[in-house]
Structure 1
Amino acid sequence: MIWDIFLNVVCPFMGTIAFAVLFSVPSKYFISCGLTGLMGWLAYYFTEPYVSIAIASFFGALVVVLISRILTVRKKCPITIFLVAGIFPLIPGSGVYYTAYYLVTNQLNQAAFKGLESLKIAFAIVIGIVVIVSIPRQFFSIEYWVRKWKRKGEFKND
């Protein structure tokens, strides 16, 4: 039990930081990248027992992109810094590997199953990214909500 919790917290965090290093992300963003990947993985991990793997990947991608958008506004940097590194724990790498393996070993039914499953996961991740990226940047800024709240309060006093 403890080992399972350890692996599901430390591995996505460290793996995301490793990809951040690989993509030459500035070191001041390493912890933020690690937390982004960790939160996306935890969203996937906790929803996967209740829904399909593709839907769980969709929710994980939503969390990754949402946190990436928030960090982008807060830290004033490009979204790709957090998004590219943070999405890696959700990528269906083993599914693609096994698809190729089953194709090479002439197990076409297994290859089709794994390939379709990997494709569904990839599309779910893309849809999760599109949903959050389509929200205007200003919605992730605290100043926007403070101004909106103050304007709303002005109308109530009239």
Structure 2
Amino acid sequence: MILQIVSAFVAVAAASILLEAPKKLIFRSGFIGAVGWGIYLIFLDSYGPVMATFIAGLVISTLSHIFSRMFKTPVTMFFIPGFYPLVPGYRIYMSVYNFISGNEQLAQNYLIDTIKISGMIALAIFMVDTLFNILNKVKKLMPQD
């Protein structure tokens, strides 16, 4: 498990470099990706890949918003590389492979899983983004001392 988390850190840091993120954000985005992957691994056996992706997505989204405010940078600098470990690339590949091989039922199962996981990533981003927007509006309405 530790090796997978370290590998996720390296992969996300490398993705940040490829996306030409500022040098000071590479370690931070790698940290977010590693934490998200660790959360995914913790919940994978108990809840399955779809729900584990959702929970990890909530953590990645929340950390991305917090880091973007702390370091005064756009939240997408952490979102985009942070979600790389959760993207269902293997399932997409297996879906296409099985369609080509003639295993339509197995291909459909992989495709349905891919859609569910992608939907959970989008839902997690949407929920946390909405929550932070509400918090910002409430903060603006609060009287300043």
Counterpart CA distance in 1 for 2:35 and 2:102 is 38
Cα RMSD (Å):
1.7
Larger Cα-atom Rg: 1
Counterpart CA distance in 2 for 1:97 and 1:16 is 20
Identity of aligned residues (%): 25
Work out whether 1:44 is the aligned partner of 2:24.
no
Counterpart CA distance in 1 for 2:134 and 2:124 is 19
Structure 1 residue identity aligned to 2:118: A
Work out whether 1:20 is the aligned partner of 2:16.
yes
The structural deviation recorded for 1:52 is 2.0
**3-state DSSP class of the match of 1:76?**
coil
Query: CA offsets per residue over residues 41-76 of structure 1, 9 Å max, x none?
Result: 111110111102110000011010000000010000
Give the structure-2-normalised TM-score: 0.90
Paired residues, what number? 140
**3-state DSSP class of the match of 1:45?**
helix
* Structure 1 equivalent of residue 84 of structure 2: 88
8 Å contact kept, 1:73–1:137: no
Query: CA offsets per residue over residues 107-152 of structure 1, 9 Å max, x none?
Result: 1011000000111000011101101010235848xxx6xxx7x97x
* Structure 2 equivalent of residue 76 of structure 1: 72
* Structure 1 equivalent of residue 93 of structure 2: 97
Q: Which runs of 5+ in 1 are unaligned?
A: 152-158
Give the structure-1-normalised TM-score: 0.83
* Structure 1 equivalent of residue 62 of structure 2: 66
**3-state DSSP class of the match of 2:46?**
coil
Q: Which runs of 5+ in 2 are unaligned?
A: none
The structural deviation recorded for 1:9 is 2.0
**3-state DSSP class of the match of 1:48?**
helix
Q: Which runs of 4+ in 1 moved over 4 A?
A: 137-140
Work out whether 1:135 is the aligned partner of 2:131.
yes
The structural deviation recorded for 1:8 is 1.9
Counterpart CA distance in 2 for 1:113 and 1:63 is 27
Counterpart CA distance in 2 for 1:57 and 1:133 is 17
